[in-house]
């Protein structure tokens, strides 16, 4: 059991790359925290500094309230699972899992009991005599997890552990890792570039870009209240529609124009827009998620928000239908019910759920309100 405190850490690699730029993060005991972001955002470097595999340029890391900057990886009581599993090819599964324990001179009988117990947890007892090359990708992944479990570490660190698996197996192993977390009741820190993995696994998600944390929140909050355009676009699939608009005041209400349609902003949001700065009459960014665009007004919480569009492409996915259309030169996506009658080439009325729309500042791209 352990909490983790990362305090203003920086990592500058030789050559000058600032991979991690003033990252601070508090992780509670037993949390499942996911670091997510595009390639090169600094998530692996952050994890490796936590593991002690990478020197910290500046800042402090505490595990269980103890400063660990100068503590060797083997003394941090953590276990790390890597993307490539890093199994020893010449050893059996049993010996791969036992290796760390043998090094630490754990008595042989205890090792056997611990390896068997971990193998049972992961459903790989029947594979203990095999070598890694005789295992499937998913089985190798389980062995790598097993090797981490047997050490009963305070903290599990995982770096893209599922990225070598096919989509189906990835889905299965996601659930396995979540079950493991529930069973072991330890702190997990998990790195991925996959927003679906992050959303489905993390109790707390840390979104990073260019070495900087853009938001730390629970999955639903990230989705509903993104701090800025980057987070809004990174979370959600298909991604949020974003377009420049100029809000105008007509009578007591605020409107925006999308193509040839005028959309009334719900009064609470309109008021906030007026109060938040110099936004009325000036360009800002409007965002609406594809799932908040409907072809039946009844599916919206709000009324009076129709847009007239010409449908370009329709993708029927069985459980939902994705439609594509253009508004003022910007590609828009809507996620409609699979029962929709909308076809390519149709000129149709769609409805925006204006209670769920977003506005961002054009210059800073920070959220004005949701
Ligand atoms: P990925 O998903 O591609 O693994 P990441 O978010 O984990 O990306 P990091 O591996 O932490 O990103 O890398 C962050 C930045 O630091 C990148 O610009 C990378 O090129 C740079 N970097 C990483 N390792 C080194 C190194 N040993 N020397 C110099 N620069 C490095």
- Cα end-to-end span (Å), the chain: 37
Please state, in angstroms and rounded to a whole number, the distance separating the CA atoms of residues 200 and 170: 12
Nearest to 196 by CA among 215, 222, 226, 225: 222
88-107: average pLDDT: 92
| Residue 126: other Cβ atoms inside 10 A | 10
Does 301 score more than 70 pLDDT? no
Task: Give whichever of 111-125, 161-175, 313-327 has the largest mean pLDDT.
Answer: 313-327
pTM of the model: 0.91
Average pLDDT, the chain: 92
pLDDT of residue 184: 87
Please state, in angstroms and rounded to a whole number, the distance separating the CA atoms of residues 257 and 234: 26
pLDDT of residue 152: 85
Quote the ligand 1 centre to 32 CA distance (angstroms): 23
Please state, in angstroms and rounded to a whole number, the distance separating the CA atoms of residues 84 and 159: 9
212-223: average pLDDT: 97
pLDDT of residue 298: 73
292-309: average pLDDT: 80
Atom 15 in ligand 1: residue holding the nearest Cα: 19
Question: For residue range 248-268, what is the model confidence (pLDDT) as tens digits?
Answer: 999 999 999 999 899 999 999
Please state, in angstroms and rounded to a whole number, the distance separating the CA atoms of residues 205 and 157: 15
Q: How far is Cα of residue 77 from the mean position of the Cα atoms in its chain?
A: 26
Among 82-86, 204-208, 337-341, the minimum mean pLDDT is found in 82-86
200-219: average pLDDT: 97
Please state, in angstroms and rounded to a whole number, the distance separating the CA atoms of residues 364 and 319: 37
Sequence-ordered strand ranges (E) for 111-203: 155-159, 187-192
135-150: average pLDDT: 89
Residues 101, 104, 110, 112: is their CA dihedral positive or negative? positive
pLDDT of residue 303: 60
Quote the ligand 1 centre to 171 CA distance (angstroms): 26
Which residue would you say has higher pLDDT here, 120 or 93? 93
pLDDT of residue 276: 85
Please state, in angstroms and rounded to a whole number, the distance separating the CA atoms of residues 154 and 27: 13
pLDDT of residue 327: 96
Q: Which of 10, 11, 17 to mutate to test the pocket of ligand 1 (most atoms within 8 A of CB)?
A: 17
Quote the ligand 1 centre to 40 CA distance (angstroms): 5
Does 364 score more than 90 pLDDT? yes
Nearest to 288 by CA among 325, 338, 341: 325
What six digits make up the tokens of 88?
């020893």
What six digits make up the tokens of 365?
């791209």
Please state, in angstroms and rounded to a whole number, the distance separating the CA atoms of residues 158 and 365: 31
Q: Are strands 347-352 and 293-294 parallel, antiparallel or unpaired?
A: antiparallel
pLDDT of residue 173: 85
pLDDT confidence band for 302 (50 / 70 / 90):
low
Among 34-43, 273-282, 310-319, the minimum mean pLDDT is found in 273-282
What six digits make up the tokens of 151?
């050490």
Please state, in angstroms and rounded to a whole number, the distance separating the CA atoms of residues 34 and 30: 13
Question: For residue range 45-55, what is the model confidence (pLDDT) as tens digits?
Answer: 999 999 999 99
Atom 18 in ligand 1: residue holding the nearest Cα: 40
Quote the ligand 1 centre to 208 CA distance (angstroms): 13
Query: From residue 8, how far is each of 98, 220, 347 by CA, in Å?
Result: 37, 26, 53
Please state, in angstroms and rounded to a whole number, the distance separating the CA atoms of residues 52 and 71: 7
pLDDT of residue 369: 85
Beta-carbon-side half-sphere exposure of residue 359 (alpha carbons within 13 Å) = 26
Range 58-61, long-range pairs (CB < 8 A, 24+ positions): 58/8, 58/9, 58/10, 59/6, 59/7, 59/8, 59/9, 59/10, 59/22, 59/23, 60/5, 60/6, 60/7, 60/8, 60/9, 61/4, 61/5, 61/6, 61/7, 61/9
| Element housing 199 (H / E) | helix 195-201
Q: Which of 40, 209, 212 to mutate to test the pocket of ligand 1 (most atoms within 8 A of CB)?
A: 40
Please state, in angstroms and rounded to a whole number, the distance separating the CA atoms of residues 64 and 81: 21
Does 282 score more than 90 pLDDT? yes
Task: Ligand 1: list residues with CB < 6 Å.
Answer: 13, 15, 17, 19, 37, 39-45, 193
pLDDT of residue 300: 65
């Amino acid at each position: 059991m352990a909490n983790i405190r990362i305090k203003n850490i920086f990592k500058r690699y030789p050559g000058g790359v600032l991979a991690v730029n003033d990252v601070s993060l508090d992780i509670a005991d037993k949390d499942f925290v996911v670091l997510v972001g595009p390639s090169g955002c600094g998530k692996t470097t952050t994890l490796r500094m936590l593991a002690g595999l990478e020197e910290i340029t500046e800042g402090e890391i505490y595990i269980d309230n103890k400063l660990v900057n100068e503590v060797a990886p083997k003394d941090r009581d953590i276990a790390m699972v890597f993307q490539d599993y890093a199994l020893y090819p010449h050893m059996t599964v049993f010996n791969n899992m036992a290796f760390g324990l043998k090094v630490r001179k754990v008595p042989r009988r205890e090792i056997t009991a611990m390896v068997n117990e971990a193998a049972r947890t992961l459903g790989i007892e029947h594979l203990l005599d095999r070598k890694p090359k005789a295992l499937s990708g998913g089985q190798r992944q389980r062995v790598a997890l097993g090797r981490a479990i047997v050490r009963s570490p305070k903290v599990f660190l995982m770096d893209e552990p599922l990225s070598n698996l096919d989509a189906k197996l990835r889905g299965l192993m996601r659930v396995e890792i979540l079950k493991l977390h529930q069973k072991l009741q330890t702190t997990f820190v998990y790195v991925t570039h996959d927003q679906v993995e992050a959303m489905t696994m993390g109790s707390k998600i840390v979104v990073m870009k260019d070495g900087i944390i853009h938001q730390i929140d629970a999955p639903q909050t990230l989705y509903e209240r993104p701090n800025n355009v980057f987070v809004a676009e990174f979370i959600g699939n298909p991604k949020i529609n974003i377009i420049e608009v100029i809000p105008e005041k007509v009578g007591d209400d605020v409107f925006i124009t999308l193509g040839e349609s005028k959309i009334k902003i719900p009064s609470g949001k309109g008021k906030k827009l007026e109060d938040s700065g110099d936004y009325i009459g000036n360009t800002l960014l409007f965002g609406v998620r594809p799932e908040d665009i409907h072809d039946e007004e009844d599916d919206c919480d709000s009324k009076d928000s129709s847009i007239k569009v010409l449908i370009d492409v329709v993708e029927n996915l069985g459980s939902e239908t994705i439609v594509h259309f253009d508004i003022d030169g910007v590609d828009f996506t809507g996620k409609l019910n699979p029962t929709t009658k909308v076809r390519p080439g149709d000129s149709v009325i769609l409805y925006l759920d204006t209670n769920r729309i977003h506005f961002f500042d054009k210059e800073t791209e920070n959220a004005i309100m949701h």
